[in-house]
Structure 1
């Protein structure tokens, strides 16, 4: 008894036709008929009644059909298990992260993953959140650390690590140093220091400003430079509250802009076994903190 014989038998039983079954399994009809005849001779009973306009199951065939389906399902499960194990031995996982993010130690996560799965190749790129999100959606990346404002990006599942309000961070010499809060309308009157478009922080700022565009006097690609420029008294830096420890943080109100930092992957689930293993490790690591 061969697996292909069981496969052909199930196909004919489900299609009630040798012709349609042959098309389904991509084999010429005589080949399908011959293999089922051999199966019937081996079992010593007819499995199919060929006397009518459509092919039907005999009593023996009806009893054998669920067993044949179970056998084929078991073989497929074994094949998937082997593929999963092979993927964790020889797989590749492509990871992205926002530029200069120190809130979550992604290298530590990757180190932990590597110790568990040393045969998996890991690639890491830094980019702005918009580029990372696009790469996740189109399959260029498996997993990323991103920043965003508002709801989770379409097509992605996220594990939020930080959800913070933005502040206007100023030096001691700034006119706002004695203030506890400023409105978005007041923010729009100043030349600001900000990260570039495409970052989560800038997205939160732009969203809070609505139809009006903030006036950006200085734009830097990473938070450390934004902080340095603000510390030199060049204006308010728009940052997440946790980034403003070296400066005076002024709350922004009416509305309160918020930015999220999260692990993200395709909502349908990562495609490779290695990427799925990394997602599970990230979930466990965050839950344990």
Structure 2
């Protein structure tokens, strides 16, 4: 970026874009129109692109202006939150734990895995959900302290990652009272007749369930597949179909979703891992999670 780049010029441009015109921006900033206009032109000169163009009686963003506005939004929104962050840091020491959560993991299970740290005084928990590869990239950049996953980290010659086992849970089938009644007499054969909801193939669990169906000689009537585990349970609770879930969350499934246990998915277990960048975990909150899981 040019050495002539000036954040004050960027701020004036940001206000102009927010207000939809230089006159309104000047009024908000209590400055002369000519001054605001000159500052925006200086920014355009330093970047080498026009950021605003006339449209009727106002101004609109160019493509370059849209890109600049997106960055300016992040910069000045962070700036506006600075006083509160400083105040919070001084008023109470915070224990920060940034956790990446694979989108295929059950939210109820995640809550159970994180339970050992929930009563820590002054805990500031930051949860980021996404696909495993994206979360591991954030972990490598030290934007996350740990990633919770249903599979160990893949081998990567460029990033040294360590997978710490946090335990396993058996899988069972759940559904509404009506679905449970339909399956009461001939489980698991009933799964060929009742509608079935499954996680998508991006989860480690899906392959195990598919193999279970093969062993049972059952061809399921699949009516829905979901990447998000909470959506899977929500649609299952609405009566769309029976669904597999971790028995670790059995009580929450019954109380929050009002579903019933239909039958076990014998031999199928879900594995949980805490993935970090160190063989010997240093973060006290991650240590606490692993100690509770052993």
Length-normalised TM-score, structure 2: 0.46
Q: Which has the larger radius of gyration?
A: 1
Length-normalised TM-score, structure 1: 0.46
